[in-house]
């Protein structure tokens, strides 16, 4: 399981090409700011663009699952979308800020359902299986996500930025450049943190196993 979980991190660095979002970065940023200021018209214009951004992020994460899991991406998008529009108190700064919040939401969704999935396998309760099956399709996959999340929480107590790099790159599917923009560091710093964090997580999960 540990090697499989580590390979999930490695695969992010291969083949993640940006697709062009429906709205320009400047347009999304301005609408987010206007929404923060209480502009309902901005929210109405933003929602289709935000949904497409979420679809892109979810697709880039879920493409690492086996082919044919269309429902997985749809379920992840829909739940992330619902949680996002509930963030009424967030003072949005820019599109990068949106990326960061979206990555956090997707991490919570995926890990929460993975933990629930492993509990059900042990006979620990009843789930809404349609959504659980969508975002946590197997016990092995669920256990890998739980192990990774536990290790990330420990890493955050030691080096918060490195844990954020993993969250943004793995759960948010962000590129090195996008991650650097969110964290306000150089791409070189992100690359170095990404490499160091992966090595630390591998050691940590191996020791735990």
- Tell me the three state secondary structure of residue 161: helix
- pLDDT over 80 at 10, yes or no: no
**How is residue 150 written in tokens?**
């536990």
pLDDT-wise least confident of 54-58, 65-69, 152-156, 162-166: 65-69
- pLDDT over 80 at 193, yes or no: yes
Compute CA distances 17 → 3, 13, 14, 138, 166, whole Å: 25, 10, 9, 27, 18
Q: For 26-73, how does the pLDDT look when each residue is reduced to its tens digit (9 = 90+)?
A: 888 898 888 888 888 888 888 888 788 788 777 776 665 544 445 567
pLDDT-wise least confident of 61-65, 143-147, 171-175: 61-65
Which pLDDT band, with edges at 50, 70 and 90, does 187 fall under? very high
Nearest to 135 by CA among 51, 70, 43: 70
């Amino acid at each position: 399981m540990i090697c499989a979980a580590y390979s999930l991190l490695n695969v992010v660095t291969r083949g993640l090409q940006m697709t062009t979002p429906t709205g320009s970065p400047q347009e999304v940023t301005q609408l987010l700011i206007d929404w923060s200021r209480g502009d309902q018209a901005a929210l109405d214009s933003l929602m289709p663009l935000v949904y497409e951004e979420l679809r892109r992020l979810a697709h880039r994460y879920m493409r690492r699952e086996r082919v044919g899991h269309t429902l997985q991406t749809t379920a992840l998008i829909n739940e992330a979308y619902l949680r996002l529009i509930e963030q009424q108190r967030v003072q949005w700064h820019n599109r990068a800020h949106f990326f960061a919040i979206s990555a956090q939401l997707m991490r919570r969704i995926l890990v929460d359902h993975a933990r629930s999935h492993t509990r059900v396998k042990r006979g620990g309760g009843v789930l809404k299986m349609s959504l659980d099956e969508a975002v946590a399709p197997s016990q092995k996959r669920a256990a890998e996500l739980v192990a990774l999340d536990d290790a990330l929480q420990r890493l955050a107590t030691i080096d918060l930025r490195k844990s954020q790099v993993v969250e943004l790159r793995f759960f948010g599917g962000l590129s090195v450049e996008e991650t650097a923009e969110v964290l306000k560091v150089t791409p070189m710093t992100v690359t170095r943190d990404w490499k160091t964090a992966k090595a630390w997580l591998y050691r940590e999960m191996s020791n735990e196993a």
